[in-house]
Amino acid sequence: MSTLRAVEAWINEQLPALVEKYQVPGVAWAVLADGEVVDGAAGVLHRGTGVEATADSLFQIGSITKLWTATLVMQLVDEGKLDLDATVQTYLPEFEIGDKDAAARITARHLLTHTSGFEGDIFTDTGVGDDCVEKYLGVLHDVPQLFPVGEQFSYNNAGFCVLGRLVEVLRGKTYDACLREHLFTPLGLTHAATNPYEAIMFRAAMGHVELEPGTGYQPAPIWAFARSNAPAGSMLAMRPRDLIAFAQMHMHDGKAADGTQVLAPGTPARMHAKAVELPDLGLMGTSWGLGFERFDTADGEIIGHDGSTIGQNAFLRIVPEAGVAVALLTNGGDVLSLYQDLYDHVFSALTETSLPALPQPPADPQKIDASRYVGTYSAEVFDLNVSQDDDGRIWIETVPKGLFEELGEQPERKELVFYQDDSLIPAEAERGMHMPHAFLGDDGEGRALYLHIGRAIRRAGA
């Protein structure tokens, strides 16, 4: 039995137990190694209907969509229609944010590397029409600038919506049409959907959420976020094998399986290369390329992206040196623990590269004075209130706002403990995850200016 076939047998044998252990309703997966793909599935697509998950089932890939948007952008670069270092306003004069000077400096490269600096979690619904991404640009006119353009990394969904509009304007067609004509067709995809009207023609997964801790995962109240955010990841759905076809093109220097050149030779390597460093968060890679998340490990380089929508989570990891890619698509539950178990086994069997360990709180965390961190950090969709009680324990309260409040999310309070340097970490895991909280900068009074959790959340009033 080949190593890949042994991996396939292990996943098929272990996955039903892992799905049950981690309360994941359904999962589909695919693995590429030595030019061959194996795939499979376990569980159900919808706990209300009981429809079984299959290898050909469609799951939303969430923010992995950003890799597809980045690829559409780089096709334009290949064709000489776009200069990454020209300002966005060169192509989209209507692009404006609250800081006019910053808006005039932001380039497509800043957007691809999440270094533009403006508030990025803007999920405003501008309708379901083909003009929804165009209308979305008007929503950004008052969005605040959090830090100077290019200063640091801060994950930015809105920036990729702007890139989606840039693609529309330079192609003269909708974002969805660009996906179908410039990626789906040359890649030979057969099970991919840009919207729910297409997804319903396949076996499509429904997301599952736990509205209150301990109540169990139930079908989500909606299937997808607003179409205005499609270029950032609100709509795109596919089977794992089709996601692997996209990854394989990137691994083969832009060539699809049939030899079609989807990206110019050398362009994928430019996209994968390190462009910006991240704070030590452990869960979002160590650096970022042009759209690509990167894990720079002692054993080698891992690239890819994660995706999260309403009750659906997706993971794509590529080990270029080993010629291995793994896609995992899920629809609820403790997905991070499932991801870690599955990828640990696959990587150990097929590569010499180890997946980085998930961050964990120290067994005996030291007591610290948290006065530098205490305060409120405010974003579009939540406020984060950090406090320290008389016993020295540190707490963070998340207060949902905007879309998150509309979706019924409730305020949540959890304890943070010292992690390292200027970082704290939750004492208890949430869906298998301990996300480090990095406190950066100075507000002029010795307090942290930003709370960084992949996004730089600015201190309120500073």
Q: Which two tokens stand for residue 171?
A: 């192609």
CB atoms within 10 A of CB 86: 12
Paired sense of beta strands 276-277 and 192-193, if any: unpaired
Q: How far apart, in Å, do the first and last CA atoms of the chain sit?
A: 61
- Which member of 57, 63, 337, 378 is catalytic? 63
Strand, coil or helix: 173: coil
Asked if residue 259 lies in contact with residue 186, where contact means CB atoms within 8 angstroms, the answer is no
Judged by phi (left if over 0) then psi (alpha if -120 to 50, else beta), residue 156 lies in beta
- Catalytic, 287? Answer no
- Cβ proximity of 65 and 291 under 8 Å: no
CA dist 3 and 17 (Å) reads 22
Residue 49 and residue 360 in contact, taking contact as beta carbons nearer than 8 Å: no
Residues 6+ apart with CB under 8 A from 114: 120, 153, 154, 155, 156, 159, 276, 288
Q: What element of type H or E holds 343?
A: helix 335-350
Q: Which residues lie closer than 8 Å to 461 by C-beta, 6 or more apart?
A: none
Query: 3-state class of 413 per DSSP?
Result: strand
The answer to whether the CB of 207 falls within 8 A of the CB of 310 is: yes
Active site residues: 63
